[in-house]
Structure 1
Amino acid sequence: MRVLLLKEPRDEESGPDPYLKELESHGHKATLIPVLSFKFVSLNTFSDKLFQPEKHGGLIFTSPRAVEAVKMCLDMGGRREEDDLVKDDQHRVCVNLCSVCALLCAVQSLGLKPLGEDTGTADVLSRLIIEREDTNIPPLFFPCGSIKREVLPMALRENGVPLETLTVYQTAEHPDLEKNLKNYFTEQGTPASIAFFSPSGVKFCLEVVRRLSGEQLNEIKFAAIGATTQDAMTAEGLCVSCTAEKPTAEHLAAAIATALQ
């Protein structure tokens, strides 16, 4: 059966996209359509903060784009060694929400030692940080996107864990999203399942998907990568057929395969 994945493809240098691979192993043909576009901002400010690790108690990453911004700062400064970024084990600690498997790989590629890679949601990650950190530490540094949710920052601040945030990328709708969706439905028809990977994806895609699906909308098995995305889908009146137990390719493919049986 055909499955439509509303997410950007994995970088070609990183090998085949794991979501395509996992769904193929279940006998389904999956197609990726990128939903979002990104513009990096404040990189000079970000670079200045990164190379003063003594001023922060750790880094929080919740997206591969934030890690990509770190790599851009390293390149901007001509700094290639991880020791330019961190000075000792204390500052090598990276608290990380692994919303997609690519995030964990990206963090590890910086030479950082992540914690919390299995937390899956901002709520669970914030509890891990609150349990682990003292309130008298230097502020944790959270490079984030322009449409981040406030769950994690609010939870940390309410519990006295100091936090500094900086927007390092802006998120917008992919300029070819509607065209790509129209081409997909024209060439392949209505898919058996559509998977959303973020509340932003729901916001940008749902109206077009509804229009293109027409009367077949109720026949589609809608899948969510996690609880936050599921809530966004439900709020828009979608019947969510399945949600990945963990935000990984393996778990999402298994959930979709079960829903399509």
Structure 2
Amino acid sequence: MILLLHLNCSRKVTAPNVKMNVLLLKEPREEDCGPDPYVKELWSHGHKATLIPVLSFKFVALEKLCQKLCRPEEHGGLIFTSPRAVEAVNKCLETYNKTEEWNSFLKDKWNAKSVYVVGKATAALVEHLGLITQGEDSGTAAVLSHLILEKEKCCKLPLFFPCGSLKREVLPTTLKENGVPLETLTVYQTSEHPELEKNLTDYFKEQGVPASIAFFSPSGVKFCLEFIQKLLGPKLNQIKFAAIGPTTADAIAAVGLEVSCSAEKPTAQHLADGIARSLQ
């Protein structure tokens, strides 16, 4: 089912006249006062946004993850580069009845070490675990890796990096080449959303060609593009393509499409501002 979210918040917002349709290739993220922040930000610019989930996730190795989290003395710190990895932590603590231990003393032991994150969304989830984060403004794993190198010059214990099956190797390679020990564990597997093609077909049939399409990950580009090309054909050239950041922008450019905007920072406001400028 296509997820078209309308503004619904206790704070009254007067929307300008809708100018153009924007397709956001991501799952919704609900906030306390209503809909996904990307929908709200684009609405404030006068554009109607529709969300279509692209990815499906399956958590794996949760028992091993739990074992690692219960032994902070074996690691020099934590690294989170995606909200899904944080969800895996929550799930494993709940599944193996470790939430009380986590809140009582484990989180404090991890807080005595470094906890690195990419992006404000991931940072917010990690902070909800009671952890103190650094690096949220890094924007990409590549930038975060350089921050880690500055902070971990004398690191002897490995940093622990729970990650997804489609993680890029930039961060592990950079740390390894510079002598910073790292232990990775795949805690979720990423695949194409089972209803992706149907949702895209329904969207284009009902709403036509959007003015802009925004991608939120290289895997989103990989899974969506073939369907979009098949459904739109030559009309593909009418669309302004947007990216949440440089890594996703590179993935779009690598398949021969022009990137109209790449968010300066991976936030709803920065992406919406960029899309609005590209559509002027």
Shift of 1:105: 1.5
Alpha-carbon shift at residue 124 of structure 1 (Å): 0.8
Aligned residue type for 2:179? G
Aligned length: 259
**Where does residue 203 of structure 1 map in the other structure?**
222
Query: Cα distance, 1:6 vs. partner?
Result: 0.3
Aligned residue for 1:113, secondary structure, equals: coil
How far apart are 1:91 and its partner, in Å? Answer: 3.6
> 2:277 maps to what in 1?
258
Tell me, yes or no, if structure 1 residue 247 matches structure 2 residue 250.
no
| 1:94 alignment partner in structure 2 | 115
Instruction: Find out whether 1:42 has 2:64 as its counterpart.
Output: no
Q: Deviations over 1:200-237 (max 9, x none)?
A: 00000011111222222111010011100011100100
Q: Which has the higher contact order (CA 8 A, sep 6+)?
A: 1
Question: Is residue 193–residue 223 contact of structure 1 (8 Å, CA) maintained in 2?
Answer: yes
Shifted more, 75-84 versus 127-136: the winner is 75-84
1:171 equivalent in structure 2: 190
Distance change >3 Å, CA 89–CA 80, structure 1 → 2: closer
Aligned 8 A contact 2:62 2:92 in 1 = yes
Corresponding position: 1:9 with 2:28 = yes
- 1:19 has 2:38 as partner: yes
Cα distance, 1:136 vs. partner?
A: 3.7
Percent pairwise identity: 66
Show the counterpart of 1:80. Answer: 99
What TM-score, normalized by structure 2, do the two folds share? 0.89
Over residues 68-119 of structure 1, what are the superposed CA-to-partner deviations in whole Å (9 max), with x where a residue is unaligned? 0110111022233423433436545310111xx4312111100001100000
Query: Any conservation in 2 of the 1:197–1:224 contact (CA below 8 Å)?
Result: yes
Corresponding residue for 2:249? 230
Q: Report the Cα offset of residue 15 of structure 1.
A: 4.0
The residue matched to 2:133 in structure 1 has which SS? strand
State the Cα RMSD in Å: 1.5
Say if 2:72 and 2:110, in contact at 8 Å, map to a contact too.
no
Unmatched 5+ stretches in structure 1: none
Query: In 1, are the aligned partners of 2:57 and 2:188 still within 8 Å (CA)?
Result: yes
TM-score normalised according to structure 1 size: 0.95
